[in-house]
Amino acid sequence: MGILEVKGVNKRFGGLQALGDVNLSVQDQSCHAIIGPNGAGKSTLLNCLVGKLIPDSGSVMFDGQSVLGRAPHEINQMGISRVFQTPEIFADLTVLENVMIPCFAKRDGAFRMHAIESVGGEVELREKAEEMLREVRMLDKRHEHAGSLSRGDKRRLEMAMCLVQEPRLLLLDEPTAGMSRADTNSTIDLLKEIRDTRNITMCIIEHDMHVVFSLAQRITVLAQGTPLVEESPENIKGHPKVREAYLGEAQV
């Protein structure tokens, strides 16, 4: 049994079968990549995992519990965090506040009326957030506005916001999309560090094969809404079915 078990998931948008009978098993504390050409249904699948979409049929189990029908914030409280294609951060708030908010969410749940306490008095949470920022090497920027950060720093911040909650599963939707080579490489290094030092499962959707082969221990290839192959990176490279799916799109 993997930590995330997807069984027989179907999703149809009008006449388009976006996902057809998807089965996927992500092993605990591994890094699992989902690749596939444009329109293969990667993002649809991810949205089914986090509660943004509800599949027409099938089941999605996380750690033995079904996530289907739960709201995104409930799924997050179960231990699943998500990194977006374009970093989603609180742009009007400071970097430190951005990291403290997930700390509050983790400690106090989806809603708590803590209107009289002062944020300044929450020393423990602030230290936790600062420790996290040190880990992603952004501590010196903690009083800056998150909206004024560079693209790469925004990504690091978003990652810190997810990791500070100590999720069991981290979902990454094209974490290096639109990044420069340098930013991509530093993101890969950061993700490697996370993979090797934390008890965390990562599930990554990516176009960039360099990123995929640097990180993934297991790769699922999705094409036209159906998984073609699930293999280790070494066996994926020369796989005939994968060549077929990607023909003319990328050199695998």
Partner 1 sequence: MTDQTSSTSVTASRTRARGASTGFLGLGRRDAALFGVVIVMVVFAPIILNPFPVNSAMAQFNAGFPQLMQQFLIFGIFAIGFNILFGLTGYLSFGHAAFLGIGSYAGVWMFKLLGMNVLYAVTAATAIAGIFAVLIGYISLRRSGIYFSILTLAFAQMCYALALSVLSPITNGETMLQVTHNDPRVLGSAVGPDGGLPVPTLFGLEMRSTYTMDAGPWSFDFNLGYYFCGVFMILAFYLAIRIFRSPFGMMLRAVKSNQQRMRYTGLNPRPYTLAAFVISGMFAGFAGGLLVSMDPIAGTERMLWTRSGEVVLMTILGGTGTLIGPVLGAGFIKYLESILSKINSGILHSWFGFLPDGLEDFIVAIIYPFVGKGWHLTLGILFMLVVIFLPGGLVEGGTRIGRLFRRRKATDTSDTPAE
Residues that bind partner 1 (CB under 8 A): 50, 71-73, 76-77, 81-82, 84, 88-94, 97, 100-102, 104-106, 108-123, 126, 140-141, 143-145, 148, 161, 165
Q: Rank residues 144 and 231 by Cβ distance to partner 1 and give the closer one.
A: 144
Q: Rank residues 80 and 179 by Cβ distance to partner 1 and give the closer one.
A: 80
Please state, as a whole number, how many other Cβ atoms lie within 10 Å of the Cβ of residue 108: 12
Instruction: Indicate the residue type of 105.
Output: A
- Of 14, 57, 40, 65, give the one whose Cα is nearest residue 174: 40
Tell the smallest beta-carbon distance from residue 119 to partner 1 (Å): 6
Q: Rank residues 100 and 221 by Cβ distance to partner 1 and give the closer one.
A: 100
Would strands 31-35 and 201-205 be described as parallel, antiparallel, or unpaired?
A: parallel
SS in 3 state form for 193-234?
HHHHHCCCEEEEECCCHHHHHHHCCEEEEEECCEEEEEECHH
Tell the smallest beta-carbon distance from residue 82 to partner 1 (Å): 5
Tell the smallest beta-carbon distance from residue 169 to partner 1 (Å): 13
DSSP state of 3: S
Q: Rank residues 50 and 242 by Cβ distance to partner 1 and give the closer one.
A: 50
Q: Rank residues 160 and 219 by Cβ distance to partner 1 and give the closer one.
A: 160
Q: Rank residues 132 and 236 by Cβ distance to partner 1 and give the closer one.
A: 132
HSE (side-chain half, CA atoms, 13 Å) at 188 = 18
DSSP state of 93: S
Tell the smallest beta-carbon distance from residue 88 to partner 1 (Å): 4
Tell the smallest beta-carbon distance from residue 153 to partner 1 (Å): 14
Q: Rank residues 143 and 181 by Cβ distance to partner 1 and give the closer one.
A: 143
Cβ within 8 Å of residue 22, ≥6 positions away: 6, 8, 9, 10, 41, 45, 58, 222, 225, 226, 227
CA 88 from centre of chain: 12
Cβ within 8 Å of residue 81, ≥6 positions away: 162, 163, 165, 167, 169, 170, 171
Tell the smallest beta-carbon distance from residue 107 to partner 1 (Å): 10
Provide φ and ψ at 127, rounded to 5°: -65, -40
Tell the smallest beta-carbon distance from residue 139 to partner 1 (Å): 9
